[in-house]
């Protein structure tokens, strides 16, 4: 039998024992494929659940509720403005009682309301930010004094949530901040066409605020941009230079092996450790301004630098040795070989690694918390030394707020952050496919 099997190998594969072995192997392969498909299915289900929750809570952040009021700019509220010298006019305009303008406009719509408590509830339908808008309008155009204008003013955050369906009318009054009278007034205003939902441009153009209806992400976006500018300015030249030196010029000895091991280890260090390092070095030792993009950029540069070095080295290693040998054969110096041939061919991979590293830096929160960028900052920063916050930190602050309206603000900011991350990773993929060379 053995001699026949060796003379005819096909008989061995056709034997019952071998066929049974093949069936078991095929069943194992099918089980493995099914397990992989189930794992991918669970991962996609978890991702869809997460994104669905964020989108469901955050899409309404891009819409806001406004109330139209016929605001009469009563000259009596600006007494003494005409006789004031030019240098005092701005102070008088800024100090006028703009809350009275809103209150008088609402009382004109509901003249039957007389009690102080009812009047306070009625005025609470309109955001306190309406006063700032009216102040800005009068300061820009004092000719409005004495006139009456129909203006769309921002509604209070509770009114906004009610109009969006986030607050149910059926719950008891103790479980909602709006009274039954306020709900009736809102419905009356809506029936008369004085309530509308519009695009929340202020969410993208204003800074942070204690009032949810006035809070925006622009200050955090500018802070993140300035922080990433500082990070990129430091990381790209230092990371590429270190990678070129280690790959092309450094001698292979114990010292360079130790450096390579430390670079690989630093890439796996938790980000909060770099935050502690930035706190001790940049704030404690050098005394740089706290909560500034300069310090944030320096800290994130320390965190991102190992990743950029590793990816740049991989890109340089991918350049075929024949390119270097051909350049040396034509008389090029080692520096010319690197600058004229190796770096241009490795640059797509280097840029891809750099963009991925910057995307990781954009989403980091822990290092920025350690250096004080968790502060409440209203003004939009104008330089790298101004107090600022970053978009992930802004999300952290809003998520920790007690007001219900900040829930949709948090989810809306997450959607914006995810958009930036997807754009950066998409750019990295496009660069790799656009400039990648196959040898």
Give pLDDT, residue 88.
73
Cα separation, 18 vs 29, whole angstroms? 16
The average pLDDT across 106-110 equals 91
Share of the chain above pLDDT 90, in %: 36
Range of lowest pLDDT (191-200, 322-331, 357-366, 425-434): 425-434
Give pLDDT, residue 437.
66
Is the model more confident about 223 or about 142?
A: 223
Highest mean predicted confidence (pLDDT) among 75-79, 94-98, 397-401: 397-401
Alpha-carbon distances of 123 from 80, 109, 117, 156, 308, rounded to whole Å = 27, 12, 10, 10, 55
The average pLDDT across 220-249 equals 93
Matching residue, tokens 């103790």: 174
Q: And the tokens for 135?
A: 């102040």
3-55 residue pLDDT tens:
544 555 666 667 787 888 888 888 999 999 999 999 999 999 999 998 898 89
Beta carbons of 353 and 307 less than 8 angstroms apart = yes
Residue 126 bridge partners (DSSP): 155
Is the model more confident about 15 or about 240?
A: 240
The average pLDDT across 389-408 equals 89
Cα separation, 7 vs 438, whole angstroms? 46
Highest mean predicted confidence (pLDDT) among 81-85, 170-174, 419-423: 419-423
Closest to 349 measured CA to CA, from 229, 259, 243, 250:
243
117-164 residue pLDDT tens:
888 999 999 998 899 899 888 888 888 888 899 999 999 999 999 898
Which phi and psi (to 5°) does residue 379 adopt?
-75, 150
Domains in the chain (CATH in brackets) are 60-136+149-200 (no CATH), 218-435 (1.10.3720.10)
DSSP letter, residue 333: -
Which phi and psi (to 5°) does residue 312 adopt?
-65, -40
pTM for the full model? 0.84
Beta carbons of 356 and 311 less than 8 angstroms apart = yes
Beta carbons of 278 and 299 less than 8 angstroms apart = yes
Give pLDDT, residue 156.
92
Helix axes 391-399, 405-435, angle to 10 degrees: 150
Q: And the tokens for 423?
A: 């754009």
């Amino acid at each position: 039998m053995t001699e026949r099997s060796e003379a005819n190998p096909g008989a061995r594969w056709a034997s019952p024992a071998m066929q049974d072995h093949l069936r078991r192997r095929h069943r194992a392969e099918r089980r493995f494929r099914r397990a992989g498909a189930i794992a991918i299915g669970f991962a996609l289900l978890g991702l869809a659940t997460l994104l669905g929750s964020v989108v469901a809570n955050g899409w309404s952040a891009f819409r806001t509720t406004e109330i139209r009021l016929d605001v009469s700019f009563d000259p009596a509220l600006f007494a003494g403005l005409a006789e004031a010298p030019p240098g005092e006019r701005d102070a008088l305009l800024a100090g006028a009682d703009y809350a009275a303008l809103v209150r008088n406009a609402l009382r004109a719509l509901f003249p039957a309301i007389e009690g102080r408590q009812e009047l306070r509830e009625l005025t609470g339908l309109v955001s306190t930010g309406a006063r700032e808008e009216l102040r800005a309008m009068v300061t820009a155009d004092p000719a409005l004094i004495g006139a009456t204008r129909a203006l769309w003013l921002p509604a209070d955050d509770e009114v906004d949530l009610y109009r969006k369906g986030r607050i149910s009318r059926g719950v008891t009054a103790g479980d909602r901040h709006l009274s039954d009278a306020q709900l009736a007034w809102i419905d009356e205003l809506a029936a008369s066409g004085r309530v509308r939902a519009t695009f929340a441009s202020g969410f993208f153009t204003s800074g942070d605020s204690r009032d949810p209806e006035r809070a925006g992400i622009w200050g955090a976006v500018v802070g993140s941009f300035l922080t990433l500018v500082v990070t990129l300015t430091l990381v790209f030249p230092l990371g590429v230079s270190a990678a070129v030196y280690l790959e092309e010029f450094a001698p292979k000895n114990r010292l360079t092996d130790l450096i390579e091991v430390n670079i690989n280890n630093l890439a796996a260090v938790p980000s909060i450790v770099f935050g502690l390092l930035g706190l001790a070095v940049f704030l404690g030792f050098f005394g740089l301004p706290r909560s500034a993009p300069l310090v944030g950029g320096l800290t994130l540069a320390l965190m991102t630098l190992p990743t950029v070095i590793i990816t740049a080295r991989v890109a340089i290693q991918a350049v075929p040795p024949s390119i270097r040998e051909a350049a040396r054969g034509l008389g090029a110096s080692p520096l010319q070989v690197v600058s004229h041939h190796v770096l241009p061919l490795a640059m797509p991979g280097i840029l891809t690694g750099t963009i991925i590293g910057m995307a990781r830096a954009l989403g980091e929160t822990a290092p920025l918390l350690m250096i004080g960028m968790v502060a409440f900052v209203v003004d939009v920063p104008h330089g790298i030394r101004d107090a600022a916050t970053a978009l992930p930190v802004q999300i952290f602050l809003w998520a920790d707020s007690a007001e219900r309206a900040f829930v949709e603000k948090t989810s809306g900011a997450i959607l914006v952050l995810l958009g930036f991350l997807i754009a950066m990773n998409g750019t990295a993929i496009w660069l790799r496919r656009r400039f990648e060379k196959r040898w």
